Each structure stands twice: as C-alpha cells, then as structure tokens.
Structure 1
C-alpha cells in the first residue's frame, strides 16, 4: 500500500499560483483600453514568472522522497543466548536486543564478549562463530564504533560472514575493550543518528552489566 504524500499541497501550489497569475494577466489585458509600454513590459514579466511557477510545480511533482531499497535477509529468525550466563544478564541481553530490533533499523544482532558469542538474535546466518577481522579489531582497539553504510562498497565485508550474507548495512559498537555488538540492517544507509544514539546508550548499559559480572566472578 503506497503512503500518501504529506507535501502534496505544497507540490501543487506553484502550479496553481502560476495558472492563477496567468489568468489574471489575461483578464487585466482584456479590460485595458489603452496599453502603455511599461504595462507591456510588466505583462511579459508576469507571463515569464507564471510559466516559471508552473514549471517549478511540475518538477516538484516528479520529486519524491525515496527510502533506501530494502531486501529480505537470508537466514532463519532466531534467538540464541549463552546458557552459562546468570539469569540477570540473560534478562538484560534479551531486553536490550529486543529494543534494538524494535526501535532501530537492526534486523540481525550478534554480541561478542571476551572472544565468545553470548547472543545472536533476529535473522541468523548459518555460521555462529565470530572471528574478528580488521574492522572489528579496529573497533576494539580504538573504542569507537564503525558504521558501514553500504556493505557492498566495502571489500572488508567478508569478515562479517556470521551475519546474513545479503546484509546491507552494519554497525560495530564496542563494549569497552572486551567485546562488541555487531548489528546488521536490511537496507543501506538505514541507520539514523537517533539509531546510532540508541545503540551507543544500550552498549554503555550492557558494558556496565558485563563488567559487574566480571567483578562478582573474581570475588568468588
């Protein structure tokens, strides 16, 4: 079902104003008994402006906001979580992953911590193991996220073989120096700045929880 254009009236406004201006110029000329040179020049200018308005309106009719082309990711929908994690951490991971899948462009999510995959959710690839490549290693080293807006344009995409093979956009978000969230989208350039802020905030919360888990383990 096609969405209605909220700017339809604005797109048509120049055409309406252009035609209205042309009609008024014609009526004014018809009721003018004596035509002066200045009025002739004004009429010519008015006709040109009316024509430009109509042309602008016609061009605007052709301009439509276009959303990125999305694809159906290859894989099965699933939810896998490391069984050895404490229930409180499992609950937080489940909550965080659900928020990301519902509120951002994410369709596939993998969380790696201390070299182990602790969560996979969304559309899952056949391969479940994560072998960090150059991009993920850089994220862990620099502690800064990397957003691949269009995976097809990056030769290094081969390292993300644990995501669906036709993933269109990827964000690698660090979890301190110990891990990362790898998020895949089904359309290029689909993550907004708000999405990125959501992801960063949730990553910070998960990092604190996982760090606390480490401290408790050391105490025991």
Structure 2
C-alpha cells in the first residue's frame, strides 16, 4: 500500500513539472498562440512600410492627390494597416491567463473490489495507470451495477466506497450512451453529485458510460484539464472495461477504502 501511495505522489509531482496546456499537443491555435496574436501587428506594420517603400522607389510624388488612383489605394492600405495594428495590440494586451493546477483537498486511496476476478482487477488497475500516466487525471472511480468497484487517486476526506453513488449526471450518461465533460466543475451546480467521494476543489471530471450497467469517472486538478484526445482515450478504456465486466456477476458490498 505504501508503494502505491508513493507511486501516485511521484506521478503527481511529474505532472506539476510538465505544466502542459490542454489541447496544446494537437491544436495549432494553442500551440502557436503568441505568434498568431502578434500576426496582425506584423502584417499592419508591413503594409505601412510597403506603402512608404512604394512611394520612395516608384517616383510617385509623396503628396497625396485625391485624383490619383495610386493615392486612393495607398490611403486604403494605410487605413487597413492601422486597423491591423490596433487589432494586434489588443490581442497582445488581452493574452489569456495560464491555467494552473490546484492541489486536491483530499487523501490518496487505492481501492479495488476484492470480489472481482484477478484478471478484471488487473485491467482496472491498468485503466488507472494509463490515465494517470498519460493525462492530468488525479482520481478514477468506476461504478458498476450500482456499486463502486474502483477508486484510485484522490478522494474526499473520510470517504469510503459506500459513499460513491450514481447521481443524475452519471445516470444521464448511461441512458444516452455518450460521455459528459464538465471542464470547470467548481462553478457547475451538478458538482454536489461528486463531492461525497471526490475532493471539493476538483476542477473537472469526465463521465463515460460503461455499457448500460456502469460509469467511469475521471477527475482532474486543472480547469479544462482533459483534451479531446484524453476524452477519447477515456471512452476507449470504458468500452474495454465494459467487455471485461459484462461477464462478471454483481460485485459484493465494497469494503472500506484503504487510505
């Protein structure tokens, strides 16, 4: 048990060092945000410099003549360039604040229903290790046939598997057969559904149905902490767990979580 807690704590430290912005790995706008914000400024400056160079080397008189088509074109270019300059300055001054992770206000638990076959228990452990290693997931809960069969990572203080219940959000995900991503859970009224067993300051959760009998709940310590790729990964894991759990009889009442 001590080794499990040490491994999870080390994984959390590694995530804090990475500080990877969600979606940055494949979203070109997020990856080159600073460059794109400065792009209008550069194009606007280039337009004004181009007009001045054209006037200098083309032999056109520097005085603006309203009857000259060249002068009218130059005025339009200067106006458009000025708009781009102002747009670039605005974009640079309104740069978004970096998203910072929070320290979950809870305890680390490691619980797997002992009544499950060893092969299923191993697959549940793999699901947690995969999400823990590859995403900003700090807690994973699996509810199957009305009972908690897995709780790994952070949990609410003094919580036990018996406190894990499916609420309206989980029930809706199962009924619709599609996942739900609450990217900013702190300001979402439905967060009360997860408070009994997850830390109160958990920033977001992904809810994925496991067939028609269960649900996978992955929690993160960062607002918008799960990218679209992470959500797809969680959905794939949920589908795999459905195949393994569908042949398992209803698990027995869970024991107290180890903390």
Alignment match, 1:24: 53
Partner of residue 125 from structure 2, selected from 87, 91, 94: 94
Q: Deviations over 1:122-177 (max 9, x none)?
A: 22222122133233333344444333333234333212121111112222222223
Q: TM-score, normalised by structure 2?
A: 0.68
What are the within-5 Å matches in structure 2 for residues 193-212 of structure 1? 193-212=228-247
For the residues of structure 2 that align with 1:153 and 1:33, how far apart are their CA atoms?
59
- Counterpart check, 1:159 vs 2:159: no
Alignment match, 1:130: 164
For this pair of structures, how many residues does the alignment match? 214
Flag the structure with larger Rg.
1
Q: Deviations over 1:24-50 (max 9, x none)?
A: 256359873897530443443343233
Give the direction of change, closer, same or farther, for the CA distance of 1:7–1:159 in structure 2 (3 Å limit).
Answer: closer
For the residues of structure 1 that align with 2:143 and 2:84, how far apart are their CA atoms?
57
What are the within-5 Å matches in structure 2 for residues 60-209 of structure 1? 60-64=91-95, 68-126=99-157, 127-128=159-160, 129-160=163-194, 161-209=196-244
Unaligned regions of 5+ residues in structure 1, if any?
A: 216-220
Give the direction of change, closer, same or farther, for the CA distance of 1:35–1:214 in structure 2 (3 Å limit).
Answer: closer
- Counterpart check, 1:51 vs 2:82: yes
Checking the alignment, whether the CA contact within 8 Å between 2:210 and 2:239 is kept in structure 1 is yes
Q: Deviations over 1:67-94 (max 9, x none)?
A: 5453221112342222333221221111
For the residues of structure 1 that align with 2:124 and 2:51, how far apart are their CA atoms?
65
Deviation at 1:8, TM superposition (A): 4.7
Q: Deviations over 1:157-212 (max 9, x none)?
A: 21212111111222222222322212212233333332222111111111111123
Checking the alignment, whether the CA contact within 8 Å between 1:22 and 1:50 is kept in structure 2 is no
